[in-house]
């Protein structure tokens, strides 16, 4: 158990324990307690998407995941949340599945659409290549105390380019090396968690703490090469594409520990500062 600033005592829960605690039925996945997987008063956004995917997988267990599109609606008003999933359309190769995450009062917390597609023969094969870090490399570790969101304790991030939130730095391209201590054998749920870790780059431009919140998030899986990879020394290349009127637009490229291109994401966020 740990005590978070301004919050009640919550349970430290390793990622694999969190996944094992999900109660699964066909088209339905329930998490009774997110433990310390929180960011402020809301559940970690990556976990919200993971729960919705978990419900989808009870209906479509084997088809490769190609993309997830999430809209974050509001924080849950209860510890327990349930994801309900249904198949929208099953085509010859591609299946669309919809999921809604609800709290105990049936408030919609998040909406997720998953697109699953069987592999097909194609003459087109293009893979991104990871670039080097260049001169002036650095290693800035993320703090583990001082009011940081509790979910961050499950990651070990090091900034190789860019810097930490609320430092007044105006760099728009961040590179973060990231691990999940205690976790082994990567699966698609780990990929989602890793891809959603990095804070909004825009808040690094601020000099005083200010809240922020994700509104929409799109995550595209480039392949299934992540299966079974070690969860050490992954790399996130993030870029703040635009910002204005309180809204920011950020892209991410996620690389495996050997430089494997794993996923692309685009996120629209609101920053109150």
Query: Residue 180: which CATH number?
Result: 3.10.129.10
User: What is the reported pLDDT for 133?
Assistant: 86
**CA nearest 220: which of 142, 143, 128?**
128
The average pLDDT across 153-167 equals 93
Q: Which 3 state secondary structure label does DSSP give 52?
A: helix
- Kindly state whether residue 124 falls inside one of the protein's structural domains: no
Q: Which 3 state secondary structure label does DSSP give 106?
A: coil
User: What is the reported pLDDT for 11?
Assistant: 76
User: What is the reported pLDDT for 10?
Assistant: 65
The average pLDDT across 153-174 equals 93
- CA-to-CA dists, residue 54 to 46, 60, 179, 204, angstroms: 12, 10, 22, 33
- Residue ranges with strand state E in 73-230: 81-90, 94-103, 108-117, 140-141, 156-161, 173-179, 212-221
**CA nearest 149: which of 200, 101, 183?**
200
Tokens 């790399």 correspond to 235
The average pLDDT across 179-185 equals 95
**Six token digits for residue 102:** 């609800």
List, for residues 93-134, the tens digit of each pLDDT value.
999 999 999 999 999 999 999 999 999 889 999 999 999 887
- Kindly state whether residue 63 falls inside one of the protein's structural domains: no
pLDDT at 7 over 50: no
User: What is the reported pLDDT for 55?
Assistant: 99
pLDDT at 159 over 80: yes
pLDDT at 164 over 50: yes
| Residues 100 and 86 sit within 8 Å (Cβ to Cβ) | no
- Residue ranges with strand state E in the chain: 2-3, 9-10, 23-25, 28-31, 38-39, 42-43, 65-72, 81-90, 94-103, 108-117, 140-141, 156-161, 173-179, 212-221, 234-244, 247-255, 261-271
- CA-to-CA dists, residue 233 to 75, 121, 160, 179, 241, angstroms: 31, 32, 12, 5, 25
Confidence of residue 143 (pLDDT cuts 50, 70, 90): confident
pLDDT at 5 over 90: no
Total of domains in the chain: 1
- Kindly state whether residue 71 falls inside one of the protein's structural domains: no
User: What is the reported pLDDT for 266?
Assistant: 97
- Kindly state whether residue 119 falls inside one of the protein's structural domains: no
pLDDT at 39 over 90: no
pTM of structure: 0.93
The average pLDDT across 182-195 equals 97
- Kindly state whether residue 214 falls inside one of the protein's structural domains: yes
| Residues 47 and 37 sit within 8 Å (Cβ to Cβ) | yes
Distance CA 165, CA 185 (A): 30
- Kindly state whether residue 7 falls inside one of the protein's structural domains: no
- Mean pLDDT, all residues of the chain: 92
- Kindly state whether residue 251 falls inside one of the protein's structural domains: yes
**Lowest pLDDT segment from 34-48, 64-78, 140-154:** 140-154
Give the domain range for residue 230. 155-273
User: What is the reported pLDDT for 136?
Assistant: 65
User: What is the reported pLDDT for 9?
Assistant: 58
**Six token digits for residue 25:** 């039925």
pLDDT at 6 over 70: no
User: What is the reported pLDDT for 49?
Assistant: 98
């Amino acid at each position: 158990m740990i005590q978070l600033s301004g919050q009640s005592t919550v349970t430290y829960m390793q990622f694999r324990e969190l996944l094992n605690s999900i109660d699964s039925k066909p088209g339905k996945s329930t998490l009774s307690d997110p433990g310390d997987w929180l960011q402020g008063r809301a559940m970690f956004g990556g976990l919200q998407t993971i729960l919705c995917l978990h419900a989808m997988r009870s209906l479509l267990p084997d088809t490769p995941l190609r993309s997830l599109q999430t809209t974050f609606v509001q924080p849950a008003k209860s510890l327990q949340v349930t994801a309900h999933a249904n198949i929208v359309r099953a085509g010859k190769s591609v299946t669309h599945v919809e999921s809604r995450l609800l709290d105990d009062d049936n408030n919609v917390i998040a909406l997720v659409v998953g697109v699953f597609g069987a592999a097909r023969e194609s003459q087109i094969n293009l893979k991104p290549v990871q670039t080097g870090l260049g001169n002036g490399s650095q290693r800035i570790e993320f703090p583990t105390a001082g009011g940081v969101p509790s979910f961050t304790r499950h990651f070990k991030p090091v900034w190789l380019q860019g810097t930490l939130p609320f430092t007044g730095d105006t760099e728009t391209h961040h590179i973060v090396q990231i691990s999940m201590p205690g976790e082994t054998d990567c699966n698609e749920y780990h990929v989602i968690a890793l891809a959603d870790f990095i804070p909004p780059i825009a808040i690094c431009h601020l000099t005083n703490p200010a809240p922020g919140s994700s509104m929409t998030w799109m995550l595209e899986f480039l392949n299934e090469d992540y299966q079974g990879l070690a969860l050490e020394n992954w790399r996130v290349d993030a870029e703040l594409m635009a910002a204005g009127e309180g809204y920011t637009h950020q892209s991410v490229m996620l690389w495996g520990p050997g430089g494997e291109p794993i996923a692309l994401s685009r996120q629209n966020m609101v920053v109150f500062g």
